[in-house]
Structure 1
Amino acid sequence: MTRTTPERPASVEAVLPELAPYRGRTTRLHPRPGRPGLRDSHVGGPMLWPYGDPWPVCSEPHQLESEGYAPDEVRSARAAGTRPLSRPWPRGTSREGGPAPLVGLAQFFRRDIPGLAPGPDNADLVQLFRCPFAHTPHLERRYHLRWRRAAETERAERFLMSPPEVPLLRGENELPQPCVLHPEEVDTYPWAEGDTLPAHLIGLIDAWDDEQTGEHGPEAPSYQYDLSIPPGWRVGGFPSWASTGPMPVGCAACATPMLLLLTAEGTETDGGSHSWVPLEDRDPSMRGPASIRGGSSVSQPTGLRFGRDRDLHVFTCPTDPGHPPQWLLS
């Protein structure tokens, strides 16, 4: 089934014509629980990983864990609609240090995802991983990108069907729920704060927001929530800066301003962004948040969490995609 973003509560360029030069495109991925295959773009499904290729690991010291959640028990609990129980760390296994096998979060093929930027040597398959443990002293997380050429990878004789896993995860939201994708391109506009747009244009946006609130009260549409950047997993477009405020993102290797490759989120909607929920996930007889159907399969389909319910922005260098990516939570 396709997913269709509803028309915006107001036409951005009709109310703010000055924003036309800043219009961009982003591909909303609309993950929904399902059974993706090796050769599909997905969140949480099986990685297209040739048998014999070393699985990525994290060898840095980790926060000491005393208990956690067994991956198979998390899967079983989700299938049964229950919550898994935490377990004490098994005796005889290391609770810190490495190497710890990374968790495969997602893979995207350019053939499936409009707007997905090419990788090094024109690689057209990108795979996203995360260390299942936190890193001291600030409980930081480690992420990893693996770029591949899809056609070459698909010619492998065998594929890894059971990747290595740690015995316990620090939280059940470390393991992604397998999700199929429903890519949809939509218009997007920059976050309006700091130097993301000219100051006079941000002033016009603020004035429009105030006017809407004065006319329609607290349920009035706003630029940040309803007109600029959609929530959820997406590729390309502009980063949202709700938690941190705008931050410069320069390539550590060449200082070139980096571009947003993708955004991962734990939630697809919240109280302020419900206007973006697709038509197919709504009851047409109702309005507003009450019209949203599907429960957690729509609001939190991947079962993941990034920071304290933030966005994970992955940036790459437009000059050389082989330069190290940047990871920001905002």
Structure 2
Amino acid sequence: MTRTTPARPVPVEAVFPELAAHRGRTTRLHPRPGRPGPRDSHVGGPMLWPDGEPWPVCREPHRRETEGYVPDEIRSARAAGSRPPVRPWPGTTTPGEEGPVPFTGLAQLFRRDVPGLAAGPDGADMAQLFRCPFTHGPHLEVRYRLHWRRAAEAERAERFLCAPPEVPLLRWEHDLPEPCVLHPEEVDTYPWAEDDTLPASLIARIDAWDDAQVAEYGPGALSYQSDLSIPPGWRVGGFPSWASTGPMAIVCTSCPAPMRLLLTAEGSEMDGGSHSWVPAEDRDSVLSGRDAVRNVGTVARPTRLRFGRDRDLHVFTCPADPRHPPRWVLS
């Protein structure tokens, strides 16, 4: 099934004609629980990983844990609609002290499925995203890894890894992604309106419009940030959202180039202020507003993942040289 974003509640460029010069495109991925295969683009599905090639691991020291959740028990509990039991941590060592910790595969994207996906090093057209299942240091930092491939070369492998290694316990249930199929859809998008992301005079007009909406319609009124600019959820390309941190200049650590947004991963596809973006296929045409959303749990948190304290994970890459290290920003 395709997913179709409804027209914006008001025509954005009719209200703010200056935004036409700043219009961009983003590909909404619309993950929904399913059974993706290793040759599919997905969140949480099986990676296309040649057998015999080492699975990525984290070799850094990790924060000591005392309890967690068994991955298979998480899967069983989700299938039964229940909560998995908490288990004590096996042994007395810190995670990682007995050897490297395998990364958890989060997502796999092919350019043939997601045309807006930027090319990787040497023309790579498949991106694989991983996350270390444990935290690091006193600030509970999380490590991510981006792995690029040429899809045609990977698909020629004779055998593929069927069961990637897993840690015995995950600290949180939301560290395990739910396998999701994707329904890519390109939509127009506009920059976050704060600081110098847009001309100051235009930001002032947007702020005044938002205030007028609240004065007329109350707390649930439309707003530029929630309803008109950047869609929620997993998306490729477009503009970053800066709800938690405010706008940041992301510059490559290997050269002076400003980095571009490759991918945004988000734990929630919908919240109280963004339900206007819910696709038509997930709505009841008889009802309106948030009440019209069918299967709210599946639509709102299809991947079961969280990033930080319900923030967006932005993955930036260098447009001057895709071989330069990516940067990871929680906002």
TM-score category by the smaller chain?
over 0.9
CA contact (8 A) 1:47 1:107 kept: yes
Letter in 1 for 2:144: Y
Provide structure 2 residue ranges, at least 5 long, that are not aligned to the other structure. none
Does 2:282 match 1:281? yes
Mapping 1:190-229, distance limit 5 Å: 190-229=191-230
Mapping 1:95-134, distance limit 5 Å: 95-97=95-97, 98-134=99-135
* Structure 1 residue 45: Cα displacement: 0.2
Deviations 1:47-89 (A, max 9, x none): 0000011000000000001111111111111111111011111
Please give the alpha-carbon distance, in whole angstroms, between the structure 2 residues aligned to 1:91 and 1:329.
33
* Structure 1 residue 94: Cα displacement: 5.1
Please give the alpha-carbon distance, in whole angstroms, between the structure 1 residues aligned to 2:37 and 2:118.
22
What SS is found at the alignment partner of 1:107?
A: strand
What SS is found at the alignment partner of 1:315?
A: strand
Letter in 2 for 1:305: R
Aligned equivalent of 2:43: 43
Letter in 2 for 1:281: D
Mapping 1:45-64, distance limit 5 Å: 45-64=45-64
CA contact (8 A) 2:36 2:180 kept: yes
Please give the alpha-carbon distance, in whole angstroms, between the structure 2 residues aligned to 1:94 and 1:162.
24
Letter in 1 for 2:308: G
Aligned equivalent of 2:33: 33
Provide structure 1 residue ranges, at least 5 long, that are not aligned to the other structure. none
CA contact (8 A) 2:95 2:101 kept: no
Aligned equivalent of 2:235: 234
Please give the alpha-carbon distance, in whole angstroms, between the structure 2 residues aligned to 1:301 and 1:180.
10
* Structure 1 residue 210: Cα displacement: 1.9
CA contact (8 A) 2:12 2:228 kept: yes
Aligned equivalent of 1:70: 70
CA contact (8 A) 1:100 1:131 kept: yes
CA contact (8 A) 1:65 1:96 kept: no
Aligned equivalent of 2:155: 154
Per mean C-alpha deviation after superposition, the further-off stretch among 16-25 and 96-105 is 96-105
Letter in 1 for 2:218: G
Please give the alpha-carbon distance, in whole angstroms, between the structure 2 residues aligned to 1:317 and 1:44.
26
Aligned equivalent of 1:2: 2
Please give the alpha-carbon distance, in whole angstroms, between the structure 1 residues aligned to 2:132 and 2:192.
29
Letter in 2 for 1:296: G
Letter in 1 for 2:36: P
CA contact (8 A) 2:226 2:273 kept: yes
Letter in 1 for 2:76: S
What SS is found at the alignment partner of 2:320?
A: coil
Please give the alpha-carbon distance, in whole angstroms, between the structure 1 residues aligned to 2:288 and 2:256.
47
Work out the percentage of aligned pairs sharing the same amino acid.
74
Please give the alpha-carbon distance, in whole angstroms, between the structure 2 residues aligned to 1:96 and 1:158.
29
CA contact (8 A) 1:66 1:95 kept: no
Please give the alpha-carbon distance, in whole angstroms, between the structure 1 residues aligned to 2:81 and 2:194.
41
Letter in 1 for 2:125: D
Letter in 2 for 1:116: L
Please give the alpha-carbon distance, in whole angstroms, between the structure 2 residues aligned to 1:123 and 1:156.
16
Letter in 1 for 2:71: P
Per mean C-alpha deviation after superposition, the further-off stretch among 281-290 and 93-102 is 93-102
Mapping 1:146-185, distance limit 5 Å: 146-185=147-186
* Structure 1 residue 214: Cα displacement: 2.5
Deviations 1:82-110 (A, max 9, x none): 11011111237653444100000000000
Please give the alpha-carbon distance, in whole angstroms, between the structure 2 residues aligned to 1:288 and 1:209.
19
Please give the alpha-carbon distance, in whole angstroms, between the structure 2 residues aligned to 1:184 and 1:253.
33
Please give the alpha-carbon distance, in whole angstroms, between the structure 2 residues aligned to 1:270 and 1:114.
27
TM-score (norm 2): 0.98
What SS is found at the alignment partner of 1:218?
A: coil
TM-score (norm 1): 0.98
What SS is found at the alignment partner of 1:219?
A: coil
Please give the alpha-carbon distance, in whole angstroms, between the structure 2 residues aligned to 1:95 and 1:251.
31
Please give the alpha-carbon distance, in whole angstroms, between the structure 1 residues aligned to 2:68 and 2:213.
47
What count of residue pairs does the alignment treat as equivalent?
330
Aligned equivalent of 1:90: 90
CA contact (8 A) 1:51 1:160 kept: yes
Aligned-residue Cα RMSD (Å) equals 1.0
What SS is found at the alignment partner of 2:164?
A: coil
